[in-house]
Structure 1
Amino acid sequence: MQLDGVTAAGGGRVVMLVDNGVDGDSRVQKAARSAADAGWDVTLLGCADVEREWRLGDAHVRVLPMGGGTPAGGRRTLRQRLVARGGPVLRVARLARRPVEHAQVLLWRTVSGDRAWRRLEPGLWTYERVFGPVLDALAPDLIHAHDFRMLGVAARAVDRARAAGRDVKLVWDAHEWLPGAKPRRDNVRWLPAHLAYVREYVSHTDAVVTVSEDLADLLREEHRLAERPTVLLNAPTSADSTPDGAEVPDLRHLCGIGPQTPLLVYSGTLTQQRGVATVVEALPRLPDAHLALVVADPAAPYVRHLRALADRLGVAERLHPVPYVPHGQVSAFLSAADVGLIPLHHWPNHEIALITKFFEYAHARLPVVVSDVRTMADTVRATGQGEVFRARDAADLARAVRAVLADPQRYRQVYDGPDSPLPGWTWEAQADRLDALYRRLLAGAGARTPVEAP
């Protein structure tokens, strides 16, 4: 395959990095597989407790062992040491340490500037220990760093390669706007440390890609990028696919309900700010409706919390947690429902994104009910594919669901009309942009094998 002057065998080696175990990260999997399908020699490196290796289409996936390290902070934290002593002790310890953490942030930012993360979040070095040697051994021509933690790992690998005389390109895939992210740990060091980490290494990038137009503008302004990031939407493939011919599970059968029962579905990560508790609180106002929660772990603590809430409200028999299916089956799996739910709370990152489940619901041809977070609410109002409700308002959510259930065809017809948004909401369209970016960055770079024009 011609790649504007490079071939997969003659210099088109791409290594993708991600700070998770790959399973469940549909964006990363689709990016790796589509790049390999386009002719690039792709290795995807993830990390988890247990080492694994497999093929994803033509891409090679390796999950590296973390080796018992604690990337969140390097050493066992005070919270970890006290967790067995109960909530009150934790709350007291948390309040007591916060003035110290604020002082640490101020001190190290003053002394070290953007290098302060080395003191505030030293556990980030764990990723260097795990990924660095493997990355150097693979000798890629291009490194695609997914999300913020992999940016520094990739940038340092590029520096080492260039010092050795190899020209390596770096693409950073910004999955979220970090200043607007909810900190992953309960300490005040987390966000300023990671912001400093990104600021130190973003100048090493040759190109940036991201998930939405709004985020592209924010990143360009925040980091003074010379070039606006390329937008790759978190869209599914254009047609439902079933790997190895596997049969798509029946969502209604898993919920134990028939075809006439109104079925609402929420698919994805469960945390408080995702707003699913609002949906459970709305169920008493929707006496015929059942709710399917498609989640990674149906027995997870937050699922148990939602079950307890449903039990208190007398709707426990209408709440059905079910496990994920492979990403190629998601839209077909969800299509058995009547309404797709996105009940997000207001949070900076929630305001600017069209998230993965938004596109998965659309390709399942589901009417959607979304909270009034800006970008998704504006899109739904413009397309007519669903209804918008006030975030955290169970009564208004129930109103929106009733409106959809009263005339579902009104909303579904948007997907099949002449102005359907679906053709642009496909991963194939995003993969073409990614392939074009790789070709532009690598065209003529280094000593690569020229290809005859067809």
Structure 2
Amino acid sequence: MLGRIKGRLGLFFARWQQHFPLIKFFSYVPVHYKRLTAFEPDIIYAHDLSALPVSAMAAKKTGARLVFDSHELEVHRNPPLGALQKAQVKWLEKKYLRKCDVVTTVCTSAENVLRHEYKLKNTALIYNAPGLKGGKSHPRWERHKGASFRGDAGLERDDFALVYVGLIARNRGIEFILRTIERLPEKIKLVTVGPGLPVMKSRLRAYADRLGLGERFIMLEPVNPPDVYKYIRGADAAIIPVMPATLSYEIALPNKFFEAAFAGLPIISADLVEMKKLIEEYDLGVYYDALDEEDCSAKILYAYKNRFSIKPSKENIQAFRQRFSWESQEALILSILNQQLAMKDQENE
């Protein structure tokens, strides 16, 4: 009986937090405020909006410098927020973003939005790119050691594999791509690599079967994040079908884009502003009208017929890696933190 009551209370509060995100954001305060202030930090580096209120309060109490990493535009995230939710998030960002000494974000367009909407001046870019030196592997990823993308997918030598990397969820464009390859040669197959709720995967499988795609749609389990770009090298092209469902998606520059480029794969992307810009700058592939299935189909067919000539040059991939690798981003973060430490020291003199 007690377990059932707890379960119902948990569901009740979960539903309230869904409609009143301020409850969730401020629920972190009693848990973490004492720990943060007791630590007496010189800098607090907060990630995501849920960590910002308590971090701002602790920074004010301790005199710490406050750096905030805005991973995405919270007001414009997917799935779209309702009017009441959006008003709360907007109020929260307006109240606390201006208290930050530095706000970092993931692309130029997002930086421009934040600077315009909240009159921010001290902002910086930290791109969401993988490292070139790999990373530690959790035991959960051990089964993937030595794994082969084409072997795991059961592909034949002459199959043309489009790889989609990332979460299998709404507004990710997977159904869109399934409809586009339905009309294309049977050797063109879509392979996903990433997590997803079983119910979502089942829906996609059923949808693909209704389209008659059968073995042309393959879903693989996620691999160790630092190894993704090495694993997907066995594909023939990367497909990034982000749907412009919200402003956050319209200006998206996701890690799957960097993983595809680091893998040296030609990229077939929706013509969203940030990805389009880098595809043109580094000649990384082609892009299509994000809402036009026929245009997308034509670009996939072009990549299929020109699979060798469409590959990005080694020189361009090397230049792209040097600019965007996590090692380069890490150096930028350290520079920001050292600058903030120096400013704190000046304040204490």
The bucket for the TM-score relative to the shorter chain is 0.7 to 0.9
Aligned to 1:193: 88
Match of 2:171, SS?
helix
Question: What is the CA-CA distance between 1:251 and the residue it aligns to?
Answer: 1.6
Matches within 5 A, 1:146-157: 146-157=47-58
Aligned to 1:141: 42
Aligned to 2:3: none
Q: Residue type of the partner of 1:401?
A: I
Aligned to 1:214: 109
Q: Residue type of the partner of 2:46?
A: A
Distance 1:438 1:76 in 2: 36
Aligned to 1:237: 131
Match of 1:203 among 86, 94, 98: 98
Aligned to 1:399: 298
Question: What is the CA-CA distance between 1:419 and the residue it aligns to?
Answer: 8.1
Distance 1:295 1:337 in 2: 15
Question: What is the CA-CA distance between 1:373 and the residue it aligns to?
Answer: 1.5
Distance 1:422 1:409, change over 3 A: farther
Match of 1:354 among 247, 253, 262: 253
Question: What is the CA-CA distance between 1:79 and the residue it aligns to?
Answer: 12
Counterpart contact for 1:210–1:230, Cα < 8 Å: yes
Aligned to 1:364: 263
Q: Residue type of the partner of 2:183?
A: R
Match of 1:134, SS?
helix
Match of 2:15 among 69, 77, 101: 77
Distance 2:318 2:193 in 1: 30
Question: What is the CA-CA distance between 1:377 and the residue it aligns to?
Answer: 1.9
Aligned to 2:208: 310
Match of 2:65 among 165, 169, 180: 169
Distance 1:68 1:143, change over 3 A: farther
Question: What is the CA-CA distance between 1:263 and the residue it aligns to?
Answer: 0.8
Aligned to 2:27: 126
Deviations 1:364-390 (A, max 9, x none): 111010112222123223332111112
Deviations 1:343-367 (A, max 9, x none): 1112312232321111000001110
Moved over 6 A (4+): 67-71
Deviations 1:172-216 (A, max 9, x none): 10111233323566x432111111111111122111111112222
Distance 2:99 2:158 in 1: 56
Question: What is the CA-CA distance between 1:276 and the residue it aligns to?
Answer: 1.0
Counterpart contact for 1:235–1:426, Cα < 8 Å: yes
Say if 2:144 is the partner of 1:259: no
Deviations 1:92-141 (A, max 9, x none): xxxxxxxxx9xxxxxxxxxxxxxxxxx77323222223333333343322
Q: Residue type of the partner of 1:374?
A: V
5+ residue gaps, structure 2, are 1-5
Distance 2:28 2:9 in 1: 10
Q: Residue type of the partner of 1:271?
A: A
Counterpart contact for 2:285–2:310, Cα < 8 Å: yes
Count of matched residue positions in the alignment of Structure 1 and Structure 2:
335
Q: Give the TM-score normalised by the residue count of structure 1.
A: 0.67
Counterpart contact for 1:343–1:370, Cα < 8 Å: yes
Match of 2:287 among 388, 392, 400: 388
Match of 2:222 among 312, 324, 327: 324
Aligned to 2:59: 158
Distance 2:14 2:324 in 1: 43
Distance 1:316 1:272 in 2: 21
Distance 1:428 1:79, change over 3 A: closer
Distance 1:361 1:130 in 2: 39
Counterpart contact for 1:74–1:122, Cα < 8 Å: no
Distance 2:276 2:320 in 1: 15
Question: What is the CA-CA distance between 1:318 and the residue it aligns to?
Answer: 1.8
Distance 1:175 1:292 in 2: 27
Q: Give the TM-score normalised by the residue count of structure 2.
A: 0.86
Distance 1:442 1:259 in 2: 55
Q: Residue type of the partner of 1:238?
A: L
Match of 1:440 among 321, 331, 339: 339
Q: Residue type of the partner of 1:382?
A: E
Distance 1:239 1:397, change over 3 A: farther
Q: Residue type of the partner of 1:343?
A: P
Match of 1:409 among 302, 308, 313: 308
Distance 1:252 1:217 in 2: 41
5+ residue gaps, structure 1, are 1-66, 81-100, 102-118, 162-166, 448-454
Distance 2:12 2:41 in 1: 29
Question: What is the CA-CA distance between 1:444 and the residue it aligns to?
Answer: 6.4
Distance 1:342 1:215 in 2: 19
Aligned to 1:164: none
CA RMSD of aligned residues (A): 3.0
Identity over aligned pairs, percent:
25
Question: What is the CA-CA distance between 1:414 and the residue it aligns to?
Answer: 2.8
Question: What is the CA-CA distance between 1:406 and the residue it aligns to?
Answer: 1.8
Distance 2:317 2:240 in 1: 26
Q: Residue type of the partner of 2:232?
A: L
